[in-house]
Amino acid sequence: MGKYILGRLLRWVPTILTILLLVYALAYFGAGDPIKLIFLRAPGDVVYDEERIEAMREEAGLDRPFLVQFGDYLGHLVKGDFGNSIESGRPVGKIIKKAFPVTLKIGLTATLILTVFGVFFGVVAALNHNKWLDNVIMAFTLAIWGIPVFVSGPLLMIFLVSFLGLSEIPYGWDGLFSPKVIIPLITLSLTPMALVIRQARAAVLEVLSEDFIRTAKSKGIPQYLIVIRYIMRPVLTPVFSQIGLIIINMLNNAVLIETVFGLPGLGRLTVKSVTSSDYPIIMAIVFIGGTVVMTVNLLIDLVYPLLDPRALSKQEAK
């Protein structure tokens, strides 16, 4: 196990370097000159001075070759320095420190919601296989899987705010327990919940065909005890293995959701930074996102053998 963990950790370095290099290249060659963009967005009384622009580019280090800039960025990154924002001049670390907790709280809460409800609906659908309740749940699953977040978000607002009047307009951030975050949380949870429902349903149907389940039923054990004792562990195993994909899906959707609902998290910061070609902030967000995804996948690989002991023997054989 120790050798396996070490091997996974050693893969982080080239993976992160490759991701950073590709994103830095896209920002450098395709996003435009951030200094010129600052002048273009400035009020009309600001003079567009080429000499001043070049001086600002030189001060920001943007006049150097691409590889020199990238190497300098990596040198600062090793020291824990993300640099300064080109647009505002503030330290990127402080900007990220303010936005990251918002995304983290929303992401963890949405993950908990979609896991609990996804497993519940998946188990209920499987226990009522080919009955009307199963058909309703699977139809609901197909619907939420096929509707993108930029459609489900406005639909939820129309239904809950305009039609039912159950919530105020969900814009801004007043904390995790504010009613404003209910609709963003539901929107963020819906699409990946479909994946959990399907995984849980398939796992339960597979377990129900096993001999030990039939034996438990023949002994007169109540169904809820059978589910708790014999079914939940096999169900959680495939669901847990999908957490990595779910996290990636939620990070992608967070960009749109935080922008639409005015949440001051990393998603909204990403849109703002890409629009202004603020390389240091873009790189910091990519680095954090890549690290989070790889850390989650590593934790899944470590915990998975506890749910399925057969996986540990496979890892040791490798």
CATH number at residue 137: 1.10.3720.10
- Map residue 84 onto helix, strand or coil: strand
Q: Whose structure tokens read 């890549």?
A: 290
Q: Which two tokens stand for residue 137?
A: 């749940």
- What tokens were used for 61? 């280090």
Q: What is the pLDDT of residue 132?
A: 92
Structural contact between residues 74 and 284, judged by C-beta atoms closer than 8 angstroms: no
More confident residue, 7 or 198: 198
Q: Which residue has the higher pLDDT, 157 or 212?
A: 157
Instruction: Dump pLDDT digits (tens) for 244-283.
Output: 778 877 877 888 888 888 889 888 898 888 877 788 888 8
Whole-number pLDDT of residue 252:
79
Task: Look up residue 34 and give its two tokens.
Answer: 């951030």
Domain count, the chain: 1
Lookup result for tokens 């096993």: 210
What is each CA distance from 291 to 1, 149, 218, 296, in whole angstroms?
21, 25, 49, 9
212 inside domain: yes
Bridge partner residues of 91 (DSSP): 84
Residue 143, both tokens: 């619907």
Q: Which residues contact 115 (CB under 8 A, 6 or more apart)?
A: 196, 239
Query: Which band of pLDDT confidence, cut at 50, 70 and 90, is reported for residue 232?
Result: confident
pLDDT at 43 over 70: no
Picking from 57-61, 97-101, 137-141, 313-317, which range would have the lowest pLDDT averaged per residue?
313-317
Instruction: For residue 153, tell me if it sits in a domain.
Output: yes
Q: What is the pLDDT of residue 137?
A: 93
Query: Residue 306: what residue type?
Result: L
In terms of DSSP H, where are the helices of the chain?
2-30, 34-40, 50-60, 66-78, 92-127, 132-146, 149-157, 182-208, 211-218, 223-226, 232-241, 243-260, 266-275, 279-307, 309-317
Q: Would you say residue 31 lies in a domain?
A: no
pLDDT by residue (tens digit) across 130-180?
899 999 999 999 988 888 888 888 888 888 887 777 777 778 888 888 888
Distance of CA 91 to the CA centre of its chain: 24
Contact, 280 vs 84, CB < 8 A?
yes
What distance in Å separates the CA atoms of residue 59 and residue 63, rounded to the nearest whole number?
9
**What is the spatial distance between Cα 39 and Cα 58, in angstroms, rounded to a whole number?**
16
Structural domain for 110, as ranges: 100-264
What pLDDT, on the 0 to 100 scale, is given for residue 38?
67
